[in-house]
Chain A
Amino acid sequence: MTSRRYAVLPAGRPAEFPPDARARIERILSRYPTKQAALLPVLWVAQETWGWISREAAEEVARILELSPAHVSGVLTFYTMYNLEPVGRHLLQFCTSISCHLAGAGGLLEHCRRRLGIDLGQTTADGRFTMVEVECIAGCDRAPSMMIDDAYHEPMDPSKLDALLESLP
């Protein structure tokens, strides 16, 4: 697994997508009859570019898609997967829905909390890990299931998690 590298977004200045992201946005737009329909995919491009979606990035998306910043903000805050602030190099996503809960997800979460010394929604001081709780991620037969960044790790247990946390950059 590689750690994520993002473009640095200068604070207080308008966001500007790099050329490859612009090209992706053009391709996305060609698949929909309205510009608004491209909103979720274009927000994904923004997140993949900068690692999170700043106010400036959201405003740039609004400008490109000819939407009001308020509409973009409303959508952005409705969905849980868009990061509204910077996250660590690795996003630890713990499923705690029923099947994982029955398999001890609560204990796993507690173990990680103690090990990293952070709470849900927080990032370690070295910027490596952010911990979040997620609802059912369709890994119920290999519970407790979790995702680290884009990948599933299941079934998970405390010692496997320790080894992973050790090995991730």
Chain B
Amino acid sequence: MKSEPVLLARVGRERSQAIDTYLADGGYETLRKVLTGGWTPEAVTEEVKKSGLRGRGGAGFPTGVKWGFVPKDTKGKPVYLLCNADESEPGTFKDRLLMEEDPHQMLEGQILSAFALRCHTSYVYIRGEFFHGARVLQRAIDEAYEKGFLGENILGSGFSHDVTVHRGAGAYICGEETGLIESLEGKRGQPRVKPPFPAVVGVFGAPTIVNNVETLCCVTHVLKRGADWFAKIGRNEKNSGPKLYCLSGHVNRPGVYEAPMGLQMKELLFGDDYGRGMKDGRKVKAVIPGGASAAMLTAGEIEDCPLDFDGLAAKKSMLGSAAIIVMNEDTCIVDAATNLAKFFSHESCGQCTPCREGTPWLHRVLSRIEAGEGRAEDVELLEKISNQMGNGITLCVFADAAIAPVLSSIGKFRDEYRYHVENKRCLVGPRAAVEAVTA
């Protein structure tokens, strides 16, 4: 049976964005409890650590542990908190929903997190395309200032905090936390060499924590209902809490679904409360479980596949941003891989040679296979190029992300690639989806 939603509890309700409805639902009571109830920043961090909350942006790093990396003595420098609202991983659309529908849930988590970090200035780095989301968020921030939840001496606690919305302008790489930091500083969003990590040297040369929208929303609930409550939700203590899953592709009912961490993939695809099965009764061919950067899984691999960090790592893929993209048996895997390669080729920031040169090269070779001009050696060539791009030889994980769909699709559908090269056409017939629309 489906559990009561936590993160989506208010989504879809009338005026869910407004502060009066949020207050009527007990909103900002947690902030009041923490700021005026004798909590120390250390106690807040400890509670978040105890909850087992892992970052919801993609990497799954324990949030409380990340906070703990900020040096005790910051040598007079301020600490910055940046909310990563640059949601750009293909297949991901949960943060857009959270911000457009319930901005105060996130904002309360952001102020609570800032308190834990002794941070007085935070920014929400929101992707440029979210015009509406940025307006909703700004209105929420203005309301929070009016009610005294932001600004000087919040609720008489002596703690002060300012939040500013900072709009991006179209660049996937700014979702990488040091790319985001560079962009916020008014530069090209090219990732930095690490170490030093942002918790030590981040934006404006000061200690900085970057947390995803959904992560900050979770912080609100960890502190509202306690770490033990949060830790008990989910498959085990290392994969805890409520989780949003972005389901798209060839299913009957795509959408954002909330479930305890570790929901079975089959349940998400076929369950009555979720995807309700494959469109037109087709069969599953492949599933991308964690956004474009995650290795594809075959229909066989989605049997007994808990959707959480460790469950997908065990299948040599990743939960990533929990973007589950379903492809049916009519999908040409070479065509899908070509589309993903186009994305990475377009979005490479151009800083590291293997990635800058490798991503367009992969796209060119895949395009010619897809176009029926593949050469006998092309499949091996794709693997060779990929192996020269990955395994941490670049400044950030973008190159590894770019090769994941290529290597996994070749590894799991090699016959289809081979057929494409030898017969100069798709194994599964014409590009059905395109033709259906143009007909």
Give A contacts to B, CB under 8 Å.
31-34, 36-41, 43-44, 65, 67, 71, 74-75, 78-82, 96-99, 101-104, 106-108, 110-111, 134-143, 147, 150-152, 157-158
Question: Within the assembled complex, what's the spacing in Å between the Cα atoms of A136 and B1?
Answer: 33
Q: List A contacts of B246 (CB < 8 A).
A: 140-141
Using a CB–CB cutoff of 8 Å, the interface residues on chain B facing chain A are 87-93, 95-96, 127-132, 162, 164, 166-172, 183-189, 204, 246-250, 254-256, 288, 292, 323, 325, 327, 331, 336, 339-340, 342-343, 346-347, 349, 431, 433-438
A40 touching B433 by the CB < 8 A rule? no
* Alpha-carbon gap, A143 to B253, bound state (A): 12
B331 touches A104 (CB 8 A): no
- Interface SS, B side: mixed
Given contacts A31-B162, A40-B167, A101-B433, 9 further A-B contacts (CB under 8 A): A38-B186, A39-B186, A78-B171, A98-B288, A102-B250, A134-B129, A138-B93, A138-B96, A157-B437
Q: When the two chains form the complex, which single residue of B167, B168, B254, B336 contacts A140, counting CB atoms closer than 8 Å? A: B254
Nearest chain A residue, comparing its CB with the CB of B249: A102
| CA–CA, A140 and B187, complex, Å | 29
Whether A36 pairs with B91 at a CB distance below 8 angstroms is no
A-B contacts, 17 of them at CB < 8 A, read A34-B204, A44-B169, A78-B171, A97-B91, A98-B336, A102-B248, A134-B129, A135-B172, A137-B129, A138-B93, A138-B95, A138-B96, A141-B254, A143-B248, A143-B254, A150-B131, A157-B437
Q: Could you tell me the distance between the alpha carbons of A150 and B437 in the complex, rounded to whole angstroms? A: 25
Bound state CA distance, A36 and B185, in angstroms? 6
Q: Give bound CA distance, A32 to B166, whole Å.
A: 10
Q: Count the A-B residue pairs with Cβ separation under 8 angstroms: how many? A: 162
B91: A residues at CB distance < 8 A: 97-99, 136, 140
Contacts of A139 in B (CB 8 A): 93
Closest CB pairs A-B (n = 5): A107-B437, A39-B186, A80-B170, A79-B169, A81-B170
User: Which chain B residues border A75 with CB–CB below 8 Å?
Assistant: 186-188
B contact residues around A147 at 8 Å (CB): 129
A106 touches B249 (CB 8 A): no
Task: Decide if B92 touches A140 in the complex (CB within 8 Å).
Answer: yes
Q: Which residues of A contact B331 (CB under 8 A)?
A: 102
A78 B129 Cβ-Cβ under 8 A: no
A98 engages B185 (CB within 8 Å): no
**A112, chain B: closest CB distance, angstroms:** 11
- How many whole Å from B182's CB to the nearest CB in chain A? 10
Contact B96 A74 (CB under 8 A): no
Q: Chain A contacts of B323 at CB under 8 A?
A: 140
Q: Are B336 and A111 in contact, with the CB atoms below 8 A?
A: no
Task: Assess whether B185 is in contact with A37, with CB atoms less than 8 Å apart.
Answer: yes
Contacts of A138 in B (CB 8 A): 87-88, 92-93, 95-96, 127, 129-130
